[in-house]
Chains A and B, each alone.
Chain A
């Protein structure tokens, strides 16, 4: 349940940080690729997501290779948050 709550909150934060007009948390599937055609995210959005992780969960991603593994979908982001969050 805690995991589902985290994912729901994360989806809300993604929508807020990326200003995804007309999207609701229900529109983003847990395993939906973030940088695919469906959501239409790009490189600027990846910076926004890194800022989101830092501000909301106190996680600093400095290595771009690490970022590529984390910012795959909501599942990978949530797993990384559970393991590394400082707040």
Chain B
């Protein structure tokens, strides 16, 4: 990234950190957590301990970081090297990201930026100008991306509450600042379980590894009465609703399932998994030493803020997570996709100078689709 762009982003971020320090708060039990941050064009600094809001604000104002992170884990010595930290427990955490949802809208709003010649083109595997395959993809998520991610968050909450006895008040949903949501679970029975246990828990939540027997289908002499019912709890009930559709069709569909046989039933389970399984990123949940973007901080992939969603259904990231200045700035833009921020439309721009509000300029520069003119 060019020096002038970095300077501009740093100035814009600093203004936000200064004016919105009320949004940047240390989490509960802050002194037991590990913090880390990145500056523009530089590596990660981590293993930092921060005890209160004052220290945290100082870190922001002194370093003007591009990104700030905090562990979901609690340690005795958060600022020591990893194997000396003495891990105690970790909040359960889930990452739901639009890019993992196989949405058909994606190709309409993904751009390919060539790492060799910086050519920007609409989604392609090869640079249209120099044919290089060293392509970086950037997506400008649309409403469908956000709505689909919200649906996954609701599915996740249902499994957590109904099956795993997590109480609703202990589930906190945050917009990640870019393309999805981070779901935090506090004070659950899972605080102290390790990485392998968490991995197994993600398989449960995403409906992975189910065998036909669990859902009533036996290899030999299958029995109609062992198939699940509509009003059953947990996955059996969800399976019934998905596969049978209505109560009246249940009997007919069971006959079909039985006559199609065991291996066909396994196939049905795998298909069903795509629909009813919650699409979470398993790597995130099973990592018990990870540091996560700090709520209230800006995501340098977009310039939007990672923020708590009080009412998920009404939440609109392009309004509710954009806190940067409305002042105007002139940029050189190359953006082949339209986008909307704070109820204003921007784009398309083809290698042209435009004067736009800072919040939109930051968004495009973070996506590598504009530079300061």
**A, B co-complexed:** no
Interface residues of A, Cβ cutoff 8 Å to B: none
Interface residues of chain B, those whose CB is within 8 Å of chain A, are none
